[in-house]
Each structure stands twice: as structure tokens, then as C-alpha cells.
Structure 1
Amino acid sequence: MSDSKTVFDAMLNRFDADEADDMEAIFQFDLDDADSYHLSIADGSCIMGEGEHDDPTVTLSMDLATLKEVMSGELDGMAAFMQGKIRADGDIMLATKLTQIFPN
């Protein structure tokens, strides 16, 4: 199992359906140094897919270490974005809700 899959599996386990209520979104994660994944959120559930999605709502590009730090709470996502560690394309406001939807 790849390191990145482990991180996404952990995110799925922490998925907060209440926070994602009424949300329909596809988060594409393009990892510079690992496999890419996307998370599809709809109807209070979250499904993980491998590779690139055809039509993501927001695409987040970073390296695996940055993803781990943001999802563990070590690094603030907005700070990482401002420092250039995360590049976002699409609905950037949606990206700010990531740690609410997947609390640690």
C-alpha cells in the first residue's frame, strides 16, 4: 500500500458527515511525489478514487509531506497555501473547509 493511500484511508475514517451536509464536491489531490487521488463528497458520504477525476470542484497540488502535516494539524492549510506549499485551482473557498470535513 502506498503512503498516500494510507493518508487518504485515514481521512475517510475521519470524515464528518455533519460538516459535509448538503455538500457536493470533488477534491482532486495531485501529489508531486506520490499517487494522485480524489475524494467525492455527496449525500453525506465520501468516496475515494485513484488517479485524476474528469471534473473536480477543486484541485489541490502539494507533496505528500505537506498533505500529512495539514491533515494531522501540524500545519495550517491556509498558511501552507500562502507559503506556496499548496497550489489550488478551482473553488478555493471549498479547500478551506477540508480540515472541518476531515477533522483530526
Structure 2
Amino acid sequence: MSEVINEAVKRLSAKLSGGFDGCAKFVIEGEGAIMLDSAGVRAGDDEADVTLTASADVFQQILEGDLNPTTAFMSGKLSVDGNMGLAMQLGSVLS
């Protein structure tokens, strides 16, 4: 598994210590995918209610708070497929 995925799982786990109400997947282009659900955060590529896709650089900027997820989406740096309500919920957690 990629070091980018391992680090992202650690950082997202800290932000979502109580898990996530729903099932979301972050796809980091060229690195892999991360699942977020009520059980917590883990590397994986399962079916999800919403899938967010971004480059490793954009994903890192979002995690570090340097890029707002909504801004990333509106500027085309983050794509969302599926339940937009869940994506917005996740975006508010990451902001």
C-alpha cells in the first residue's frame, strides 16, 4: 500500500474519531482509495454512497486545511460522484 494512503488513513482517522455516518470513498489518483464509514477509516476500494476523487496534491491540501473541499470541487480539482449530501457532510468535517 502506498505511503500516501497510509498517511491519509492516519490523518483522516484523527479527524473522524467517531466514524462517519454513511459510506464514502476517497480515490487518490495514482495511489489508491480510502473508505470512510461508521467503522472508521481504512484503505480499501469498496462500493460507497459517495466517491470523491482528487490528485494526491489536492487531497493533501484539503487534509492540511490549505484548500477548502467546496472550493476544490467548484474549481474542478475534486470530483464527486454519488450522494452530494454526504459529500457536503464530509466536506464540513474536513474544513
Which TM-score bucket, shorter chain as reference?
A: 0.7 to 0.9
Alignment of 1:50 with 2:50, yes or no, is no
Partner of 1:74: 66
Which is higher, the Rg of structure 1 or of structure 2? Answer: 1
Partner of 1:83: 75
Number of equivalenced pairs: 94
Residue 101 of structure 1: how far off its partner (Å): 3.2
| Contact kept? 2:24, 2:50, Cα under 8 Å | yes
How much identity, in percent, do the aligned residues show? 19
- Structure 1 range deviating more: 28-37 or 7-16: 7-16
Distance in 1 separating the partners of 2:92 and 2:37: 16
Distance in 1 separating the partners of 2:45 and 2:61: 22
Question: What SS does the corresponding residue of 1:96 show, helix, strand or coil?
Answer: helix
Q: Tell me, which stretches of 5 or more residues in structure 2 are unaligned?
A: none
Question: What SS does the corresponding residue of 1:59 show, helix, strand or coil?
Answer: strand
* TM-score normalised to structure 1 length: 0.76
Partner of 2:93: 101
Question: RMSD value over aligned CA atoms?
Answer: 2.1
Structure with the bigger percentage of helix: 2
Matched letter for residue 44 of structure 2: G
Partner of 2:7: 6
* TM-score normalised to structure 2 length: 0.82
Partner of 1:32: 29
| Contact kept? 2:24, 2:37, Cα under 8 Å | yes
